[in-house]
Amino acid sequence: MEEAGETKKIMYVNRKAPYGTIYALEALEVVLIGAAFEQDVYMMFLDDGVFQLKKEQDTKALGVKNFSPTYRALEMYDVEKIYVEKESMEVRGLTADDLIIPVEVKSNEEVTKMMTEMDVLLNF
Amino acid sequence: MEEAGETKKIMYVNRKAPYGTIYALEALEVVLIGAAFEQDVYMMFLDDGVFQLKKEQDTKALGVKNFSPTYRALEMYDVEKIYVEKESMEVRGLTADDLIIPVEVKSNEEVTKMMTEMDVLLNF
Amino acid sequence: MKFGIMVNEGPYTHQASDSAYNFVAAALEKGHEIYRIFFYHDGVNNGTRLTTPPQDDRNIVNRWSALAEKHEIDLVICVAAAQRRGIADADESKRNGKDADNIAPGFRISGLGQLLEASIQADRMVVFGD
Amino acid sequence: MKFGIMVNEGPYTHQASDSAYNFVAAALEKGHEIYRIFFYHDGVNNGTRLTTPPQDDRNIVNRWSALAEKHEIDLVICVAAAQRRGIADADESKRNGKDADNIAPGFRISGLGQLLEASIQADRMVVFGD
Amino acid sequence: MLHTVNKSPFDRNSLERCMRTCDKGSAILLIEDGVYGGIKGSVIEDKVKGAMKDVKIYALEADLDSRGIKGRVIDGIQLVDYNGFVDLTVEYDKVQSWL
Amino acid sequence: MLHTVNKSPFDRNSLERCMRTCDKGSAILLIEDGVYGGIKGSVIEDKVKGAMKDVKIYALEADLDSRGIKGRVIDGIQLVDYNGFVDLTVEYDKVQSWL
């Protein structure tokens, strides 16, 4: 039960690759709008969601909009708690150097713990 | 290049579970309509597609139509070449006794060979 | 308890919409409140009045409309997602220079802020999707 | 060579529709014939004229319509799938007692037989889906 | 917290991901095609049984019924109807849907 | 025959299924999220390399580009554009899409 005006811990859980489906893009739209609500916001990238942050995305030949630069703008929206799961990167042959923004890398165990501390989880 | 009036070998490849998505039901609708075209028809159930044929489906509580009895009607439409992959059943803990209609059980190797002999593969 | 619901897939193709409906119906029967149902991604396709499912099948859209009327539930379709997918009410249709609209009774089109508000106001947020 | 194409997913949500379009455009440029494009499952949602995508994004529906007009391509929407999902032309709308239709230019609504016919007549059938 | 899984474990990674990322004391509810994760005799049965040492696993009855597998559920998985689903979301403080 | 795979091998079973069920002399084309199957250094790399002894593997350039992984493709996987995709469907007698 929340008091009016109380701040909630909200985590956006991103588990899907970009471009194959629209979930990554439309999740980002939620995060940008959500910034106006001044909640305690966490972005978590798990599984194929880590591919959303891959550097060097170039969508010219595909004919769709490259939305990856928007992740760089998140800081201006005061979205600064951005996490990537270590194991998800390892499975996919990625490291933090491959990502378009600096992130905090968390182990699966830490991810589990963080999730339990949230008030709301929004899944994309 | 087909001559007009020639008969083609068409395989319907079913890989998805029923009810979670509509693909199984709408694939069945294609097979029923397709029967009128008097082609050489093959139905192949692979992976989660084998669940389409599971006995004892009861959709009352779910509130959707149980379409599994329709598989029993396929014979009347002269759709008689119905195959299930052995390995797909094993992974899922099923045997041919669990299925609503008699089928021919094929190994992955036999499935591979059959596919190469088709003219058209329709994927659901 | 106050529930917020997000529905991410359209009718018939994925079970998400059915699951959400059955969950909401059960919650209401138990005396819980549904603060809002927010339709996002392909979920916006739940809100078209142009569907004509087979006679022997459930009518997913009408079912939502009836539930909304009976229990005064707020059914919100995301405007940005709706524009991409062709769901429009009279206002949206006019604004976008279209000659028709297709929104079903009981649904309204609004912004993503409505999802955030529901997440903040509700005691529990439950997401149904693919 | 004569191609038949099946598109199983709607616009924007899955890449299937983009992939099919890019494939078809390349095939035409190479001088191949597109016998028919059949829209099934959520693919029927490619054929609504009510979409208004963001200005800086591609317009998937208009792109199909333009391609059909330029190359006289047969864009067929499955009637049964369309009824479930709320895609209707004037005839369908009238027959089902609806007050509006939403089909886009260049698309026509017809039966599943059109898919089978394409499979039989085409030299290659290519399926795009989820 | 309550985790929901709605995908077949034979097609998608979500059940295994969920089992790897749920804390002791949480619960997993299998819904939609997720109920296939509760079937006896499958290649994933041992992993599911292993997870049950730390978390409770539930499965939605309507989804088991419709798929013809209610008689085949792994011992210890508890069946719930939609009312039970609602009760679980009340009992646990939040829901993580592994879409 | 030509097989297309459009799903990430880290989320779905379709690439592994395809590699298990394609005959010698056939080809696999990775498209959409399927191109992630061609990434170097992943847990699936060895399986993909193993399959390449029997079948040719191609990946669609536009899908690699958009995902920022064109520079990371396993050696031996051949890149094609949409014209090349069309050519492959002509060269092989039929297409199996592992949806």
Q: Dump pLDDT digits (tens) for A61-76.
A: 999 999 999 999 999 9
**Beta-strand runs (E) in A15-109:** 40-45, 82-85, 104-106
Task: Say what angle helices D60-71 and D16-29 make with each other, to 10 degrees.
Answer: 20
- Tell me, what's the pLDDT at B6? 78
Q: Distance between alpha carbon C45 and the CA centroid of its chain, in Å?
A: 8
Nearest to A18, CA basis, from A41, A63, A48, A61:
A48
* CATH for E83: 3.40.1260.10
* CATH for D115: 3.40.1260.10
Q: What is the DSSP string of A56-69?
A: ----TTTTS---TH
The answer to whether the beta carbons of residues C25 and C56 sit under 8 Å apart is: no
The answer to whether the beta carbons of residues D103 and D48 sit under 8 Å apart is: yes
- With pLDDT > 90 as the criterion, what percentage of chain B qualifies? 95
Average confidence (pLDDT) over D82-91 = 98
- Tell me, what's the pLDDT at A2? 43
Question: What ipTM goes with this model?
Answer: 0.97
The verdict on domain B9-123 having CATH code 3.30.710.10 is no
Q: Dump pLDDT digits (tens) for C17-32.
A: 999 999 999 999 999 9
**Using a CB-CB distance cutoff of 8 angstroms, which residues of chain E are in contact with residue B55?**
68
Average confidence (pLDDT) over C100-115 = 98
The residue with tokens 């699951």 is: C19
CB proximity list for E62: less than 8 A, separation 6 or greater: B61, B62, B63, C22, E81, E82
Please tell me the distance from the alpha carbon of residue E85 to that of residue A111, in angstroms, as a whole number: 25
Confidence class of residue B2 from pLDDT cuts 50, 70 and 90?
very low
Q: How many structural domains is chain C composed of?
A: 1
Cβ distance A47 to F81 less than 8 Å, yes or no, reads no
Q: What is the DSSP string of B52-68?
A: GGBS----TTTTS---T
**Whether pLDDT at C103 is above 60:** yes
Residue type, B89: M
- Tell me, what's the pLDDT at A1? 41
Average confidence (pLDDT) over A11-34 = 98
Q: How many structural domains is chain E composed of?
A: 1
**Using a CB-CB distance cutoff of 8 angstroms, which residues of chain E are in contact with residue A111?**
21
From the list D80, D115, D127, the residue facing B123 with the nearest CB is: D127
Cβ distance C18 to B64 less than 8 Å, yes or no, reads yes
Domain range for F91 is 2-98
Average confidence (pLDDT) over B15-37 = 97
Cβ distance B122 to D125 less than 8 Å, yes or no, reads yes
CA angle, corner B31, sides to B26 and B36, nearest 5?
135
CB-CB neighbours of C1 under 10 Å: 15
Residue type, C118: A
The answer to whether the beta carbons of residues D34 and F86 sit under 8 Å apart is: no
Please tell me the distance from the alpha carbon of residue B45 to that of residue B37, in angstroms, as a whole number: 21
Q: Dump pLDDT digits (tens) for C52-91.
A: 999 999 999 999 999 999 999 999 999 999 999 999 999 9
Q: Dump pLDDT digits (tens) for E52-71.
A: 999 999 999 999 999 999 99
Nearest to C68, CA basis, from C13, C18, C21:
C21
For an interface test with A, the pick among F5, F6, F7, F10 (most A C-beta atoms closer than 10 Å) comes out as F10
Residue type, A108: N
